[in-house]
Amino acid sequence: MKTSAGLHFKTFLLILLMVIFGPLGNVFLGKGMRGIGAVTSRAPAALLPMLGQILRSDAIWLGIASLIAFFLAYMLVLSWADYSYVQPASSFAYVVVALLGHLVLHETVTLTRWLGVLVICMGVLVVGQTPPRTTEHA
Protein backbone atom coordinates (compact mmCIF):
# COMPACT_ATOMS: atom_id res chain seq x y z
CA MET A 1 0.00 0.00 0.00
CA LYS A 2 1.35 3.41 -1.01
CA THR A 3 1.24 6.07 1.68
CA SER A 4 3.99 8.26 0.18
CA ALA A 5 3.95 12.05 0.08
CA GLY A 6 3.58 11.72 -3.69
CA LEU A 7 0.24 9.98 -3.39
CA HIS A 8 -1.00 12.71 -1.06
CA PHE A 9 0.24 15.48 -3.39
CA LYS A 10 -1.38 13.87 -6.41
CA THR A 11 -4.64 13.54 -4.45
CA PHE A 12 -4.45 17.18 -3.30
CA LEU A 13 -3.78 18.49 -6.80
CA LEU A 14 -6.69 16.64 -8.39
CA ILE A 15 -9.08 17.61 -5.60
CA LEU A 16 -7.99 21.25 -6.16
CA LEU A 17 -8.93 20.93 -9.85
CA MET A 18 -12.30 19.44 -8.82
CA VAL A 19 -12.92 22.34 -6.42
CA ILE A 20 -12.24 24.88 -9.18
CA PHE A 21 -14.02 23.28 -12.15
CA GLY A 22 -17.05 21.85 -10.29
CA PRO A 23 -18.33 25.20 -8.93
CA LEU A 24 -17.40 27.03 -12.13
CA GLY A 25 -19.52 24.53 -14.07
CA ASN A 26 -22.48 24.92 -11.72
CA VAL A 27 -22.32 28.72 -11.90
CA PHE A 28 -22.26 28.63 -15.71
CA LEU A 29 -25.24 26.24 -15.71
CA GLY A 30 -27.06 28.52 -13.27
CA LYS A 31 -26.37 31.51 -15.52
CA GLY A 32 -27.59 29.60 -18.56
CA MET A 33 -30.79 28.37 -16.91
CA ARG A 34 -31.53 31.85 -15.58
CA GLY A 35 -31.52 33.07 -19.18
CA ILE A 36 -33.87 30.29 -20.27
CA GLY A 37 -36.43 30.56 -17.47
CA ALA A 38 -38.09 28.30 -14.91
CA VAL A 39 -38.76 24.69 -15.87
CA THR A 40 -42.13 24.14 -14.21
CA SER A 41 -43.85 21.93 -16.77
CA ARG A 42 -43.26 18.20 -17.10
CA ALA A 43 -45.08 17.89 -20.44
CA PRO A 44 -42.78 16.71 -23.26
CA ALA A 45 -44.32 19.32 -25.58
CA ALA A 46 -43.08 22.07 -23.27
CA LEU A 47 -39.79 20.44 -22.30
CA LEU A 48 -38.53 19.79 -25.85
CA PRO A 49 -38.32 23.45 -26.97
CA MET A 50 -36.59 24.15 -23.66
CA LEU A 51 -34.05 21.42 -24.40
CA GLY A 52 -33.40 23.17 -27.72
CA GLN A 53 -32.79 26.45 -25.88
CA ILE A 54 -30.49 24.67 -23.42
CA LEU A 55 -28.41 23.18 -26.25
CA ARG A 56 -28.07 26.60 -27.90
CA SER A 57 -26.86 28.37 -24.75
CA ASP A 58 -23.14 29.27 -24.61
CA ALA A 59 -23.21 29.43 -20.81
CA ILE A 60 -24.60 25.87 -20.63
CA TRP A 61 -21.81 24.57 -22.90
CA LEU A 62 -19.16 26.39 -20.85
CA GLY A 63 -20.74 24.77 -17.80
CA ILE A 64 -20.66 21.33 -19.43
CA ALA A 65 -16.99 21.82 -20.43
CA SER A 66 -16.09 22.78 -16.83
CA LEU A 67 -18.01 19.79 -15.48
CA ILE A 68 -16.19 17.45 -17.91
CA ALA A 69 -12.86 18.80 -16.59
CA PHE A 70 -14.21 18.25 -13.07
CA PHE A 71 -15.35 14.73 -13.93
CA LEU A 72 -12.00 13.78 -15.47
CA ALA A 73 -10.10 14.89 -12.34
CA TYR A 74 -12.69 13.04 -10.26
CA MET A 75 -12.35 9.78 -12.20
CA LEU A 76 -8.56 9.88 -11.95
CA VAL A 77 -8.51 10.53 -8.21
CA LEU A 78 -11.01 7.70 -7.64
CA SER A 79 -8.60 5.26 -9.26
CA TRP A 80 -6.53 5.32 -6.04
CA ALA A 81 -8.40 7.22 -3.32
CA ASP A 82 -11.57 6.16 -1.47
CA TYR A 83 -14.89 7.59 -2.55
CA SER A 84 -15.81 8.35 1.06
CA TYR A 85 -12.59 10.41 1.30
CA VAL A 86 -12.79 12.21 -2.04
CA GLN A 87 -16.42 13.24 -1.77
CA PRO A 88 -16.11 15.03 1.60
CA ALA A 89 -12.67 16.46 0.79
CA SER A 90 -13.99 18.07 -2.38
CA SER A 91 -16.92 19.64 -0.51
CA PHE A 92 -14.85 22.82 -0.14
CA ALA A 93 -16.45 23.44 -3.53
CA TYR A 94 -19.58 24.61 -1.67
CA VAL A 95 -17.68 27.65 -0.40
CA VAL A 96 -16.50 28.41 -3.92
CA VAL A 97 -20.07 28.02 -5.23
CA ALA A 98 -21.51 30.44 -2.65
CA LEU A 99 -18.72 32.92 -3.39
CA LEU A 100 -19.15 32.72 -7.18
CA GLY A 101 -22.96 32.76 -6.85
CA HIS A 102 -22.67 36.00 -4.89
CA LEU A 103 -19.94 37.67 -6.97
CA VAL A 104 -20.83 36.53 -10.49
CA LEU A 105 -24.59 35.92 -10.35
CA HIS A 106 -25.27 38.56 -7.64
CA GLU A 107 -27.22 36.12 -5.49
CA THR A 108 -28.20 37.17 -1.99
CA VAL A 109 -26.29 34.98 0.43
CA THR A 110 -27.70 35.48 3.94
CA LEU A 111 -25.66 35.32 7.14
CA THR A 112 -27.26 31.97 8.02
CA ARG A 113 -26.27 30.59 4.64
CA TRP A 114 -22.64 31.73 5.08
CA LEU A 115 -22.70 30.16 8.55
CA GLY A 116 -23.91 26.93 6.93
CA VAL A 117 -21.08 27.10 4.42
CA LEU A 118 -18.61 27.67 7.29
CA VAL A 119 -19.93 24.62 9.16
CA ILE A 120 -19.56 22.60 5.94
CA CYS A 121 -15.92 23.79 5.86
CA MET A 122 -15.36 22.61 9.43
CA GLY A 123 -16.76 19.25 8.46
CA VAL A 124 -14.35 19.15 5.54
CA LEU A 125 -11.38 19.89 7.82
CA VAL A 126 -12.34 17.03 10.13
CA VAL A 127 -12.76 14.66 7.21
CA GLY A 128 -9.45 15.83 5.69
CA GLN A 129 -7.58 14.43 8.70
CA THR A 130 -8.57 10.88 7.82
CA PRO A 131 -6.37 8.75 5.50
CA PRO A 132 -7.10 8.76 1.73
CA ARG A 133 -7.22 5.00 1.44
CA THR A 134 -8.58 2.42 3.85
CA THR A 135 -8.93 -0.62 1.60
CA GLU A 136 -6.34 -2.88 0.00
CA HIS A 137 -6.50 -3.55 -3.73
CA ALA A 138 -4.59 -6.27 -5.52
Partner 1 sequence: MLWETVLFGLIIVAGTVGELCVARAMKKVGEVTDFRPVALIRVILSALQVGWMWLGVALMAVAFFALLGALSLENVSLVVPVTALSYVAGTLGGKIFLGEKVSSKRWAGVALVCIGVTLVFIGRK
Indicate whether 20 belongs to the interface with partner 1 (CB under 8 A).
Answer: no
3 binds partner 1 (CB under 8 A): no
Contacts of 32 (CB under 8 A, 6+ apart): 54, 57, 58, 59, 60, 63
Return the residues of window 41-100 that contact partner 1 according to CB under 8 A.
42, 54, 60, 67, 72, 74-76, 78-80, 82-85, 87-88, 91, 93-94, 97-98, 100
The answer to the question of residue 116 lying near partner 1 (CB under 8 A) is yes
Interface residue list for partner 1 (CB under 8 A): 2, 23, 26-27, 29-30, 33-34, 36-40, 42, 54, 60, 67, 72, 74-76, 78-80, 82-85, 87-88, 91, 93-94, 97-98, 100-102, 105, 107-130, 134-135, 137
